Amino acid sequence: MILPLAFLAGSGVDQLALQMLLVFGAAKLLAELAERVRMPGIVGGLLSGILLGPSLLNLIQYNDLLHALAELGVMFLLFQVGLEVKVSELLRVGKTALLVAVSGVLVPFVMGYAIYIGAKHPQAEALFMGAAMVATSVGITAQVLSSKGLLEHRTAKIILGAAIIDDVLGLLVLAVVSSMGEGKGIDYTGLLTTTVVSIGFVVAIAKYGTDAARIVVPKLAERMRVPESEYAIAVTFLFGMALLASVSGVAAIVGAFLAGMALAEIASKRLHTLVHGAGELMVPFFLASIGLQLDIHAFASGSSLAMGIAILIAAVNSKALGCGAAAWRLGWKDAARIGIGMVPRGEVGMVIAQIGISRGAIGQEAYGVAVFMAVMTTVVAPPLLNLVYKDIAKPAADVPPDEAPLHLG
Amino acid sequence: MILPLAFLAGSGVDQLALQMLLVFGAAKLLAELAERVRMPGIVGGLLSGILLGPSLLNLIQYNDLLHALAELGVMFLLFQVGLEVKVSELLRVGKTALLVAVSGVLVPFVMGYAIYIGAKHPQAEALFMGAAMVATSVGITAQVLSSKGLLEHRTAKIILGAAIIDDVLGLLVLAVVSSMGEGKGIDYTGLLTTTVVSIGFVVAIAKYGTDAARIVVPKLAERMRVPESEYAIAVTFLFGMALLASVSGVAAIVGAFLAGMALAEIASKRLHTLVHGAGELMVPFFLASIGLQLDIHAFASGSSLAMGIAILIAAVNSKALGCGAAAWRLGWKDAARIGIGMVPRGEVGMVIAQIGISRGAIGQEAYGVAVFMAVMTTVVAPPLLNLVYKDIAKPAADVPPDEAPLHLG
């Protein structure tokens, strides 16, 4: 397969079309193969990145364009998920979600820190490894649940709510860890400001977004003369909220989710389908990008592989147990669902590892371990989710085509 | 407006969301304003690039990401247009389209060359200016016609057919001009190979694509277990054809158009809407990218402005008259429609100017003139098209929402 592609590096060849074909085609092909062996299609998308990237075929380098498409993919994914979730339902599970988030931050952080300190690594590295294990990549779980038509289930709401709170907590952990790792004192005023601004943003949009949208959007859409005005407003709102979220300190995808949620009660069927068309195109890039950033050759030595596996096991169990325990009063089944739903670290864990290596707080080996943990938690979670949700998954055939759940695998 | 945006250059700000919001939001806002003064919305999209770019506010630099989104936008635009066109109808107007294309290449080339030689510019520059005036940016016209529901009209078919032939002819002109500009002999064997391969590709896909798609796609889509399998197949096919087109020597968007046309007879309504969702998101980037590449400050001297206007007038008239004359037997109304429809040079004219400047064949001033001509032909064409199609445009209200024509403005 390498030979014919070397020929494609020639000058007349559209490199954009080549990259789009390779990533999109491989992601869909592997998703199909995954479905045929009764794995979630999303696993195929994740594996396509590992296949195309430096770990195996080395056909494609992770680059700025793929990164941007991946970011757009996860923004549209969370926006779509938001469109399916009413804010009132999310607020109803707020307390449980808060408990799940806090416990799901503490247990993984302590475990990651303890393993690295126990293995006699520097304290800065142990702090960053703990922080990387705190992250939650809600996109993966949201995708699996929406493809099963399960976003209505209370566990889905708790997972989404906890993931948003997690994002704020993760921000604080990262800030603390960064100052401690650099031997500096903690800037309490800065921390407080960040906390207040980010929580304020989330609460304000969650609380008033739906009402504001209900008043403004339908009238505006009707008065506008541009065709597909509802879609134009929705996409502008999506990017505006993503931008505001990042300004206020939380992740852009949290803004995308809040934007979707604000529109959930007024979005037309056509808007759903149009957003779905953009999402289906770009989500495979989000999935592939996670695997593309893994280089399995980082585990040349047996000791780093052993550490990677130890951290992976700790990462899966600490989230599953930490979050599951916090939701124990919902019964062990729902507790297990929530615990597993919070396992994927994905792109969020990798961003923290990248911050760590760029500041010199962690070395190449710890970076490799963190990326391995982030990728593999993301690969193992969907099959586990399949298992714990098996008895309540709606068969897709029951859903009429126009109301089909979000299928983005 | 500059001040608050300077603040947004800070580290916590998601630069992707910022760029997406600025370009998408401005394009839609100006499209709305354009519609309100009875101009085509597409003009607003084009002007948004001039507004945001170095010519006016200088808020945004044209960069690799915007370029990639623009390319994706025009690929999806032509793919959508292809989905509306049956190949048999295109072949029926083949001879007229060939005449239109040939005449539309010769007249502009000779005019551009003559003006530059007359103004005592070097021969290499005159050759490149002629070549830049040969290009046709079919995306702009296709967009205007599809938003009016006029893709069924015979003039639309002739414009589309002529634009594809134009692409092959433009390729040959560029090859000849490049060798002459460098004082080298013309490589006749290479030219012949390019011609045969590119024509062979277009003819093969046009002739056998529809039948092949009819046999393969529905069965494949039905057997696949991945959700939205029809869309997954269509998008993969789109990028595959775009890639093959570029390998065989023609533009990627010609491949995208042929891919759409091959699927025209079997595409479901849902496929149309999903493709539309991706297109609506990215087409504004295509439109804005054209204006973003113009720097009006290049016309600091009166003489270069005068030359720009002279070339612009020649560019509009040479295509309108050259193509109109070739379609004269259809009556003066349709001849005028076809002539005006071929006027926009857009991104294709700019690519040729870029090749010219990168090879040292043209200077900064001639480059500025060519870009000005490419942008302004694109801005003036849509209102002129509004005018010549006024008496046959379908009112949008007659079209049921799900069969609404492609609105991408």
Q: Is residue A7 part of a domain?
A: no
Q: Is residue A339 part of a domain?
A: yes
Report helix angle B123-134 to B364-388, nearest 10: 30
pLDDT at A401: 45
Write out the DSSP string of A91-154. Answer: HHTHHHHHHHHHHHHHHHHHHHHHHHHHTT--HHHHHHHHHHHH---HHHHHHHHHHTT-TTSH
Place of tokens 């009556």: B331
Cα–Cα distances in angstroms (integers) from residue A234 to residues A225, B37, B218, in the given order: 15, 24, 33
The fraction of chain B above a pLDDT of 90, given in percent, is: 57
Domain that holds residue A106: 20-392
Alpha helices by DSSP H, B39-137 = 41-52, 64-83, 87-92, 94-118, 123-134
With b for 16 or more beta-carbon neighbours within 10 A and e for fewer, the A70-97 pattern comes to bbbbbbbbbbbbbbbbebebbeebeebb
- Does residue A409 carry a pLDDT above 60? no
Q: Is residue B118 part of a domain?
A: yes
A194: closest chain B residue by CA: B12
| Domains contained in chain A, number | 1
DSSP, collapsed to helix, strand or coil, labels residue A329 as helix
- The C-alpha of A326 sits at a distance from chain B's nearest C-alpha, in angstroms, of 31
Q: Is residue A408 part of a domain?
A: no
pLDDT at A342: 95
Place of tokens 């080549």: A18
Render pLDDT for A272-295 as a digit per residue (tens, 0 to 9).
Answer: 999 999 999 999 999 999 889 888
Q: Higher model confidence: residue A244 or residue B409?
A: A244
Q: How many CB atoms lie within 10 A of CB B88?
A: 11
A73: closest chain B residue by CA: B278
pLDDT at B144: 87
- The C-alpha of B306 sits at a distance from chain A's nearest C-alpha, in angstroms, of 35
The CATH number linked to A56 is 1.20.1530.20
pLDDT at B11: 58
Write out the DSSP string of A339-383. Answer: HHHT---HHHHHHHHHHHHHTTSS-HHHHHHHHHHHHHHHHHHHH
Is A228's CB within 8 Å of B273's CB? no
Q: Average model confidence (pLDDT) for chain B?
A: 88
pLDDT at B10: 55
- Does residue B408 carry a pLDDT above 60? no
Q: How many CB atoms lie within 10 A of CB A215?
A: 11
> Chain A to chain B, count of Cβ pairs less than 8 Å apart?
176
Average pLDDT over residues A394-405: 47
Which tokens in the block code for residue A349? Answer: 């864990």
Which tokens in the block code for residue A237? Answer: 């709102």
Q: How many CB atoms lie within 10 A of CB B304?
A: 17
Is B236's CB within 8 Å of A17's CB? no
Average pLDDT over residues A348-370: 87
Q: What are the chain A neighbours of B281 within 8 Å (beta carbons)?
A: 235, 278
Place of tokens 């990237």: A53
Is A243's CB within 8 Å of B270's CB? no
**Which of A225, A253, A271, A355 is the best substitution to test chain B (most B C-beta atoms within 10 A)?**
A225
- The C-alpha of A116 sits at a distance from chain B's nearest C-alpha, in angstroms, of 29
- Does residue A193 carry a pLDDT above 90? no
- The C-alpha of A66 sits at a distance from chain B's nearest C-alpha, in angstroms, of 10
The fraction of chain A above a pLDDT of 70, given in percent, is: 92
**Which of A28, A78, A147 is the best substitution to test chain B (most B C-beta atoms within 10 A)?**
A28
DSSP, collapsed to helix, strand or coil, labels residue B200 as helix
- Does residue B380 carry a pLDDT above 60? yes
Q: Is residue A1 part of a domain?
A: no
Is B239's CB within 8 Å of A75's CB? no
CA separation for the pair A240, A244 (Å, rounded): 6
CA separation for the pair A395, A147 (Å, rounded): 10
Is B270's CB within 8 Å of A401's CB? yes
Render pLDDT for B197-225 as a digit per residue (tens, 0 to 9).
Answer: 888 998 898 889 999 999 999 999 999 98
Cβ-Cβ contacts under 8 Å for B288 (sequence gap 6 or more): B23, B26, B27, B45, B46, B48, B49, B52, B66, B70
Q: Is residue B201 part of a domain?
A: yes
- Does residue A323 carry a pLDDT above 60? yes
Average pLDDT over residues A125-152: 90
Render pLDDT for A73-125 as a digit per residue (tens, 0 to 9).
Answer: 999 998 998 998 888 888 899 999 999 999 999 999 999 999 999 999 999 99
Q: What are the chain A neighbours of B259 within 8 Å (beta carbons)?
A: none
Which tokens in the block code for residue A280? Answer: 């289906």
- Does residue B2 carry a pLDDT above 50? no
Average pLDDT over residues A343-360: 86
Q: What are the chain B neighbours of A8 within 8 Å (beta carbons)?
A: 243, 247
**Which of A5, A7, A13, A14 is the best substitution to test chain B (most B C-beta atoms within 10 A)?**
A14
pLDDT at A397: 42
- The C-alpha of B170 sits at a distance from chain A's nearest C-alpha, in angstroms, of 15
- The C-alpha of A405 sits at a distance from chain B's nearest C-alpha, in angstroms, of 10
Average pLDDT over residues A330-336: 95
- Does residue B9 carry a pLDDT above 60? no
pLDDT at A167: 84
Render pLDDT for A13-56 as a digit per residue (tens, 0 to 9).
Answer: 889 999 999 999 999 999 999 989 888 888 899 899 999 999 89
- The C-alpha of B10 sits at a distance from chain A's nearest C-alpha, in angstroms, of 9
ipTM reported for the complex, 2 dp: 0.87
Instruction: Answer whether A16's CB lies under 8 Å from B72's CB.
Output: yes
Q: What are the chain A neighbours of B21 within 8 Å (beta carbons)?
A: 236, 239-240, 242-243
Render pLDDT for B107-154 as a digit per residue (tens, 0 to 9).
Answer: 999 999 999 999 999 999 999 999 999 988 888 888 888 888 899 899
CA separation for the pair B140, B399 (Å, rounded): 22
CA separation for the pair A28, B326 (Å, rounded): 46
Picking from B399, B398, B378, B382, the residue whose alpha carbon sits closest to that of residue B390 is B382
- Does residue A1 carry a pLDDT above 70? no
Which tokens in the block code for residue A217? Answer: 């959007």
- Does residue B396 carry a pLDDT above 60? no
A279: closest chain B residue by CA: B278
pLDDT at B344: 93
pLDDT at A9: 53
Highest mean pLDDT out of B73-77, B141-145, B174-178:
B73-77
Q: Which of B65, B147, B276 lies nearest to residue A64, judging by beta carbons?
A: B65
- Does residue A331 carry a pLDDT above 90? yes
Is A226's CB within 8 Å of B16's CB? no
Q: Which of B13, B31, B226 lies nearest to residue A35, judging by beta carbons?
A: B226
Highest mean pLDDT out of A2-6, A83-87, B300-304:
A83-87
**Which of B281, B347, B358 is the best substitution to test chain A (most A C-beta atoms within 10 A)?**
B281
A281: closest chain B residue by CA: B278
Q: Average model confidence (pLDDT) for chain A?
A: 88
Q: Is residue A14 part of a domain?
A: no
Confidence of residue A192 (pLDDT cuts 50, 70, 90): confident
- Does residue A407 carry a pLDDT above 90? no
Instruction: Answer whether B225's CB lies under 8 Å from A30's CB.
Output: no
- The C-alpha of A4 sits at a distance from chain B's nearest C-alpha, in angstroms, of 12
Which tokens in the block code for residue B375? Answer: 């942008």
Q: Is residue A398 part of a domain?
A: no
Q: How many CB atoms lie within 10 A of CB A405?
A: 18
Average pLDDT over residues A372-382: 93
Is B280's CB within 8 Å of A228's CB? yes
The fraction of chain B above a pLDDT of 70, given in percent, is: 92
pLDDT at B397: 42
Render pLDDT for B329-368 as a digit per residue (tens, 0 to 9).
Answer: 999 999 999 999 999 998 888 888 888 888 888 888 899 9
DSSP, collapsed to helix, strand or coil, labels residue A293 as coil
- Does residue A138 carry a pLDDT above 90? no
CA separation for the pair A270, B57 (Å, rounded): 35
Q: Which of A24, A243, A401 lies nearest to residue B21, judging by beta carbons?
A: A243
Report helix angle A229-248 to A188-223, nearest 10: 170
Half-sphere exposure of residue B249, counting CA atoms within 13 Å on the CB side?
Answer: 24
- The C-alpha of A233 sits at a distance from chain B's nearest C-alpha, in angstroms, of 9
Go through chain A and tell me how many residues it has: 409
Confidence of residue A399 (pLDDT cuts 50, 70, 90): very low
- Does residue B157 carry a pLDDT above 60? yes
Is B21's CB within 8 Å of A278's CB? no
Average pLDDT over residues B179-191: 77
Q: What are the chain A neighbours of B245 within 8 Å (beta carbons)?
A: 14
CA dihedral of residues A276, A277, A281, A282 (deg, nearest 10)? -40
Confidence of residue B395 (pLDDT cuts 50, 70, 90): low
Average pLDDT over residues B35-57: 90
Q: Which of B17, B277, B401 lies nearest to residue A246, judging by beta carbons?
A: B17
CA separation for the pair B89, A71 (Å, rounded): 41
